[in-house]
Amino acid sequence: MKKLGLLSVIAVVASFATSATAGEIPTIDASKYGFKEFRMGLLGGENTQDRQKQYECFLPYMTKMFQVPAKIFVAKDYAGTMEGLLGKTLDYAWLGAAGYAGVYLRDKEAVRPVMTRRSVGGALGYHSVLVARADSGIENLDDLKGKVVGYADPNSTSGFLIPSIEWKKQGYDPDTFFGKTVFSGGHENNVLAVMNGDVVAGVTWVSGVGEWTEGYSHGNLRKMVDKGILNMDDLKQVWMSKVIPNGPIVVRKDMPKEMSDVMFDAFQYVHKNDPNCMEGVVGGEIVEWVPIDHSHYETIVAARKAKIEAKKKSN
C-alpha cells in the first residue's frame, strides 16, 4: 500500500457476493498467476465519493471474475494513476489516449491496451469541446482573444493535448492568443470553473452523439447532468475537435493473456446483463466493448511525443 504514494486508497473491497445472474460471468483464478488482489486505478480530478459510487456495483463483478478481492485506488490527478502503472502498484486502469501515450513513452513494457468502448452511433472515438456560459457572449474562438481558458489536466487527451494542438493548427496559438490558460484539476472541475466564472471557457469531453440538452449520450457533461450538478441550458458549445480515439483499458503488460481475455468477456457480460451498472462506470451509453492494441493509439503517441520535444526545445 505504501508504495502507491500519490494514490489515495478508497477503502472499498468487493465481496464475493454478486447478483443472482452474476454466477454466469466468465471467471479465472488469478491467484494461480500470483495475484492476491486486483488493484484498479481510477483517474483523479473528480469527487472521490462519486468515483466510489460509480464503481460500487462493478467491484463485485471484478472480484467474481478473478476470484481475488478487487480494490480501487483513486489518484489525486492523472499523473498519480500513471505513476501507479509505471511502478507496478496498479494492475489495471482506464486511461485517456494521451495518458496511455505518456505511460508508453516512459516505459514501453509497462502496460498493454486490452479494450475500448464503441460509442452510440458506432464510433470508437469521442470529442473535445470548448464550453462557455450561455450568457457569456462567447460564440467562437475569436471571442476568446485575451481571455482566460481552462484545461482539465496536463495528461488529458481531450482536456489538453488535442485542443492545444488543433487550436494552434487553426491559427490560435494558446500561448499567445489567450490571455491566460490554467489547469482546473479535472474535467468536472473545469466545467465548474466555467460556471463559477473562474475561467471564461473550458474544455471537456463528450461523445458528440445524442442530445446537447442531455449532455450528449455519454461523457463528462452527461455525467454532470446525471448527477444533477449541471443544467445544459446554462452552457453553450463554442468549439469541437475532430474525433479522438476512445481511451484504452490497460493492464500490466506481464499480466497473463488468459486473465485479460476473461476480463474482456466479463466486461461484455456486465454490459449485456447489468447495463445500468456499466453505464455508471462508463458515464453514459455504449454499444459494446472492442478489443484493441497499441496500433490504435500510434497517432496520439506521436502527437504527445512531438509536444514533449517541442517543449524541450522552447526551454
Q: Are residues 110 and 136 in the same domain?
A: no
> Measured between alpha carbons, how far is 255 from 218 in angstroms, rounded to an integer?
30
Q: What is the pTM of this model?
A: 0.84
Domain that holds residue 96: 2-118+247-305
Which residue ranges of the chain lie beneath pLDDT 70? Answer: 1-23, 44-48, 315
> Strands (DSSP E) along the chain, which ranges?
7-13, 38-42, 70-75, 92-94, 111-119, 125-133, 148-151, 180-183, 201-206, 235-240, 244-245, 249-252, 286-291
Q: Are residues 252 and 210 in the same domain?
A: no
Instruction: Supply the pLDDT for residue 310.
Output: 84
Instruction: Supply the pLDDT for residue 3.
Output: 40
Residue whose cell numbers read 471537456: 204
Instruction: Supply the pLDDT for residue 7.
Output: 44
Q: Are residues 148 and 164 in the same domain?
A: yes
Bridge partners (DSSP) listed for residue 183: 151
Instruction: Supply the pLDDT for residue 264.
Output: 97
Instruction: Supply the pLDDT for residue 19.
Output: 38
CATH of the domain at 27: 3.40.190.10
Q: Are residues 8 and 103 in the same domain?
A: yes
Please report how many Cα atoms fall inside a 13 Å half-sphere around the Cα of residue 224, on the Cβ side: 26
User: Considering its fold, how many domains does the chain have in total?
Assistant: 2
> Measured between alpha carbons, how far is 140 from 126 in angstroms, rounded to an integer?
20
Instruction: Supply the pLDDT for residue 300.
Output: 96
Residue 134: inside a domain, yes or no?
yes
Instruction: Supply the pLDDT for residue 47.
Output: 63
Residue 299: inside a domain, yes or no?
yes
Q: Are residues 240 and 253 in the same domain?
A: no
Instruction: Supply the pLDDT for residue 198.
Output: 98
Instruction: Supply the pLDDT for residue 293.
Output: 96
Instruction: Supply the pLDDT for residue 45.
Output: 61
User: Which three cell numbers, joined as nine digits, stand for 179?
Assistant: 490571455
Instruction: Supply the pLDDT for residue 284.
Output: 79
